[in-house]
Amino acid sequence: MEQTMTVTVLYYARLADKAGCEQEKVTLTPQTTLPELYETLSREYDFGCGHQDLEVIINEQLANWSDTLRDGDSVAFMRPIAGG
């Protein structure tokens, strides 16, 4: 039997509008990468932008797209915030 893990995906702004919710629990295999997770969700909700256009946040900390997901993590995909 293949192991799974559950992460909470948080949506903000346009992504929340497209997903029709502000968060959801997603069941994944432990080998799922952040880009794979995003691309799966993007196909489902038609986000209209690639992961390279977004920043990823894991457990309220800015993360890298190469970081590893763990069971129970919260993940958010956001447009980079411009300062000035």
Position 38 scores a pLDDT of: 97
Question: Is 83 within the bounds of a domain?
Answer: no
Among candidate residues 21, 26, 56, the one with its CA nearest the CA of residue 40: 26
Position 82 scores a pLDDT of: 63
Joined tokens for residue 76? 């958010």
The tally of domains found in the chain comes to 1
Question: Is 36 within the bounds of a domain?
Answer: yes
Position 29 scores a pLDDT of: 94
Position 15 scores a pLDDT of: 94
How far apart, in Å, are the Cα atoms of 77 and each of 3, 16, 68, 70?
25, 10, 15, 16
List per-residue pLDDT tens for the chain, 84 residues long: 569 999 999 999 999 999 999 999 999 999 999 999 999 999 999 999 999 999 999 999 999 999 999 999 999 999 877 655
Instruction: Print the domain residue range for 43.
Output: 5-78
